[in-house]
């Protein structure tokens, strides 16, 4: 008998827990572990997307210098640039841990991807990550003639959602936002029982599936962000109307499942076109586990396809959006 989670991912998590880098519970240890497991998972991809070019540059933005990695597709399907914000609980992750995430989006959407190497907590607490992501996005918006989108996973999904709100407020049009297993409500820092009760997945999936509820409390504590601010909790924004059309992907075995689902519902209630897909057997980290699980590969490809659909010239985004899909 199983609990319904993907068995290949369950075995991956068991092996991951045995990795020597898993033993160090410090911030430095979390960063080393993230690099190790992402490098290993990337090596398991049977047919990894191969971009035409990659280059690391520094954007001199109005908010200061922001390092980025520009990934170009061999075949272009859109005129768009996708700003990508990596996950890692605002304390870990970088452009190398999420190398394959950016390559997938570039190759499978046929768009330029700009990955933002934003500052990490606790050395640089809130609002450093948000400020860097927004500054880079505004800089590219002013320099690019094509359409612009934002994308991210986990904490990066939160940053993408919050940057999309900021762009709306500043009159910067975005063509789309892709939010994969996003953080959307940090009110209470994942330690407040009343807030947690709103999202049953926080208890149902609190431990055993990669990301833990205790881990989210640690991340939120280190980021030191005010949970009621939309810059860290987009679900707390007073008005979501007018933000970019969204593709929101959530996972059944993820403590963040219900807040991600709630954000998709809130966007739709505000009149925003939304494609929402929940993958019941997958876990929080599925976007980087295409080489581990066939279902995770399907989900990652679908996420890229949904973003491409919103970006493809001439496609009516509202015809493709406003639906929920449970796989």
Residues with active-site annotation: 154, 254, 284
DSSP output for 234-281: GGG-S--TTPPPEEEEEEEE-TTHHHHHHHHHHHHHTT--EEEEEEEE
CA pair distance 184, 169, nearest whole angstrom: 18
At 104, give phi and psi (nearest 5°): -60, -50
CA pair distance 200, 219, nearest whole angstrom: 20
Coil, helix or strand for 65? strand
CA pair distance 160, 118, nearest whole angstrom: 12
Residues 6+ apart with CB under 8 A from 162: 130, 230, 231, 232, 234
Tokens read off for 126: 């809130």
Helices 128-143 and 155-169: crossing angle in degrees, nearest 10, is 50
Bridge partners, residue 54, by sequence: 71
CA pair distance 76, 109, nearest whole angstrom: 8
The candidate with the shortest Cα–Cα distance to 233, out of 198, 186, 293, is 186
CA pair distance 137, 143, nearest whole angstrom: 10
């Amino acid at each position: 008998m199983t609990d319904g989670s993907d068995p290949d991912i369950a075995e991956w998590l068991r092996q991951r827990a045995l990795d020597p880098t898993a033993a160090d519970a410090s911030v430095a240890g979390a960063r080393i572990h993230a690099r190790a497991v992402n490098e290993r998972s990337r090596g398991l991809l049977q047919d990894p997307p191969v971009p035409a070019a990659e280059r690391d540059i520094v954007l001199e933005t109005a908010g200061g210098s922001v390092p980025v990695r520009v990934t170009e597709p061999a075949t272009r399907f859109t005129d768009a640039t996708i700003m990508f914000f990596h996950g890692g609980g605002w304390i870990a992750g970088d452009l190398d841990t999420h190398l394959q995430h950016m390559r997938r989006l570039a190759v499978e959407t046929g768009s330029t991807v700009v990955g933002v190497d934003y500052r990490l907590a606790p050395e640089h607490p809130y609002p450093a990550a948000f400020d860097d992501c927004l500054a880079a996005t505004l800089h590219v918006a002013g320099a690019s003639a094509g359409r612009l989108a934002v994308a991210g996973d986990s904490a990066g999904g939160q940053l993408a959602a919050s940057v999309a709100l900021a762009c709306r407020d500043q009159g910067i049009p975005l063509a789309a936002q892709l939010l994969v297993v996003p953080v959307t409500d940090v009110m209470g820092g994942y330690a407040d029982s009343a807030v947690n009760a709103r999202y049953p997945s926080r208890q149902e999936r609190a431990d055993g599936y990669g990301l833990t509820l205790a881990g989210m409390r640690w991340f939120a504590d280190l980021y030191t962000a005010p949970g009621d601010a939309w810059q860290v909790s987009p679900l707390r924004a007073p008005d979501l109307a007018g933000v970019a059309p969204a593709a929101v992907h959530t996972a059944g075995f993820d403590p963040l499942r219900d807040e991600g689902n709630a954000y998709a519902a809130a966007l739709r209630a505000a009149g925003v076109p939304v494609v929402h897909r929940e993958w019941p057997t997958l876990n929080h980290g599925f976007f980087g586990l295409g080489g581990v699980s066939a279902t995770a590969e399907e989900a990652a490809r679908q996420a890229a396809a949904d973003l491409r659909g919103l970006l493809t010239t001439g496609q009516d985004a509202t015809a493709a959006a406003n639906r929920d899909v449970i796989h």
